[in-house]
Structure 1
Amino acid sequence: MGQVLGDVLGLAAAVAVSPLPIIAMILVLATPRGRLNGILFTVGWILGLSVLGAAVLAIVGPGGSSSSSTTGSQPATWVGVLKLVLGALLVFFGLRQWRRRPKGESDAQLPKWMASIDRLTPLKIFGLGVALAALNAKNAPLTIAAGASIASSGLPVEEQIASLAIFVVIGTLGLLAPLGVFLIGGDRAKTTLGGWRDWAARHNVAVMGVLFFVMGLKLLGDGISILTP
C-alpha cells in the first residue's frame, strides 16, 4: 500500500492546490449564506472526487493488474497506455496554460461564471462542487490517474478504498484551508481570504501550467515504465 500512496499523493497534492476551486470556495464563502454554502461546496467536492475515483476502481476491477510469479502484481498494459494518454493531456494543458499566463496584474481574469456565484442556490453550490471535482477537464485526469494507479496495484479491495479515501482527503485540503479560516478566523477572515483570492487570481494560470506540466511528465514516465519493464 505504501508504494500506491507514493504514486497518488503527488496527484492528490496537485488537486489540492489547484487555484480555481480555491477561488471558487472563497467566493462561495462571501455569499450571504457563506457558512452553509461553503460546507455544501466542500461536500460536493468530496463526493465528486470519491465518485470519479470509485468509478475508475469499479471499471478496472480485478483485471486492472496482471500477476507475475517472479515480480508480483504488475499493472496491466492498458494502465500504461492510459497513463501515457493522461500524461500527454496534462503536458498539453500545462504548456497551453503557461503560454496564456497573464503578463501583468491587469491582465489576470477569472472565468465569467464566477461572477454569478453569489446568485446560486445552495443546491447549485453543491452541484458546482461536484462539477469542479469530477467534471473539470483539467482536474479530472489527475483523479482518473490516481484511480488507475490504485486499481492496478493488486491491493485487496479494502486497501484500495482506503487509498482512495486518503487521496480524497489530501485533495480536499485546499478547500478546507479557506473554510477553516472562515469558520474560526472571525473578523480577520475576510481580509485573509481576500488576499488569498487576489493572489490566486493573479497566479492561477501560471501555477496550473507548472502543475500540469510536472504531473504530466510524471504520468508519462509511469506509463513508459509500465510498457517497457
Structure 2
Amino acid sequence: MGSVIGEILPLALGIAISPIPIIAAILMLLSPLARTTGLGFLAGWVLGVIVAVVVFTLLASILPESGDDGPKPIAGVITIILGLGLLFLAFRQWRSRPHDGGQPALPKWMAAIDSMTAVRGFLLGFALSALNPKNLLMGVGAGVAIGSGDLTIGATTLVIVIFTLIAASTVALPVIAYLVASAKVAGPLEALHQWLLRNNATVMAILLLIIGVVLIGKGIGSF
C-alpha cells in the first residue's frame, strides 16, 4: 500500500495546487452568499474527486495483467499516455501565460459567481474536479495506480480517502477558515486571489510538466 500512496501523492497535490478552483472558492467566499455557496462548492469539489478516482480505480482493477510481481504493460501504456497528455497541457498553459504585465484571461463563469446559489456552486465544484481535463487526467492516473496495485478493499478505500483529503485540502482550508473567522481571513484571501490570478498559468505549467514526466517514467518502469 505504501508504494501506491507514493504514486498517488503527486497526483493529489497536482489537483490540490490547481489555481482555478482555489480562485473560484475564494471568489465565492468574498460574495454576498459566501457561506452557502462556499459549502456547496466544497461539497461538489469533494464528490467530483471521489467519483473520478473511484470510477477509474474500478476500471483499472479489471485490466488483465501478467501477475502480482510481473510487468504491467497495459497500465504502463495508459500511464505513459496520461503523462504525455499532461505535458501537452503544460505546454498550452505556458503559452497562455500573460506577457508584459497583461491581465490573464479568466473563464467567463467567474463573472457570475456573485449571484451563484449553493446548488450552482455545488455543480461548479463537481464540474471543476471531475470534468476538468487537467484534474481528470490526474484522477485517471490515480485510479490506474490504485486499481492496478493489488490492494485489499480496505486498503483501496484508505488510499482513496488519503487522495481525496489531499486533493480537496486547498479548497477546504479557505472555506473552513472563512466559517471560523470570516472577518480575519477576508484580507489574506483577497491577497491570495490576486497572486493566483497573476501566476495561474505559470504554476500549472510547471506542475503539469513535473507530474507528466513522473507518469511517463512510471509507465516506462511498468514494462
For 1:111, the aligned partner's letter is P
**Structure 2 stretches lacking a partner, 5+ long:** none
**Contact 2:57–2:142 (8 Å) recurs in 1:** no
| Offset, 1:62 | 4.3
**Residues of 2 paired with 1:202 and 1:58: CA distance?**
38
Q: TM-score, structure 2 length as denominator?
A: 0.94
Alpha carbons 1:22, 1:174 under 8 Å: kept: yes
In structure 1, stretches of 5+ residues that fail to align are none
Structure 1 residues 221, 118: closer, same or farther in 2, change over 3 A?
same
1:201 to 191, 197, 204: 197
Counterpart of 1:111 (choices 107, 113, 132) is 107
Determine the structure 2 residue equivalent to 1:120. Answer: 116
Which residue among 152, 161, 166 is the counterpart of 1:165? 161
SS of 2:26's partner is helix
Which 4+ runs in 1 deviate beyond 2 A? 60-66, 104-109
Question: C-alpha separation between the residues in 1 aligned to 2:44 and 2:182?
Answer: 25
Letter in 2 for 1:34: A
Determine the structure 2 residue equivalent to 1:25: 25
What is the CA-CA distance between 1:111 and the residue it aligns to? 1.6
Counterpart amino acid of 1:9? L
CA offsets, 1:93-135, max 9 Å, x none? 1012112211244332322211011222221110101000000
Provide the C-alpha distance between the structure 2 equivalents of 1:81 and 1:4, rounded to a whole number of angstroms. 18
Distance in structure 2 (CA, Å) of the matches to 1:49 and 1:127: 13
Q: Report the Cα distance in structure 2 between the residues aligned to 1:29 and 1:23, rounded to whole angstroms.
A: 10
Q: Is contact 1:109-1:201 (8 Å) kept?
A: no
Is 1:5 matched up with 2:5?
yes
- Report if aligned partners of 1:108, 1:202 keep a CA contact under 8 Å in 2: yes
Matched with 2:76 is 80
Match of 1:187 in 2: 183
Amino acid at match of 2:77: V
* SS at structure 1 position matched to 2:98: coil
Q: Which residue of 2 aligns with 1:99?
A: 95
Cα pair distance change 1:75/1:64, threshold 3 Å:
farther
CA contact (8 A) 1:133 1:140 kept: yes
SS at match of 1:103: coil
* Counterpart for residue 46 of structure 1: 46
Distance 1:186 1:42, change over 3 A: closer
Structure-2 separation of matches of 1:125 and 1:19 = 17
Query: Could you tell me the percent identity over the aligned residues?
Result: 36
Letter in 1 for 2:196: A
Partner SS for 1:67: coil
Measured after TM superposition, the shift of residue 58 of structure 1 is: 1.8
Work out whether residues 65 and 74 of structure 2, in 8 Å CA contact, stay in contact via their aligned partners in 1. no
**Which among 212, 216, 227 is matched to residue 208 of structure 2?**
212
Distance 1:65 1:173, change over 3 A: farther
Secondary structure of the equivalent of 2:134? coil
Task: Supply the distance in 2 between the matched residues of 1:75 and 1:124 (Cα, whole angstroms).
Answer: 45
Q: CA RMSD in A?
A: 1.5
Q: Secondary structure at the match of 1:109?
A: coil
Alpha-carbon contact 1:19-1:208 (below 8 Å) kept: yes
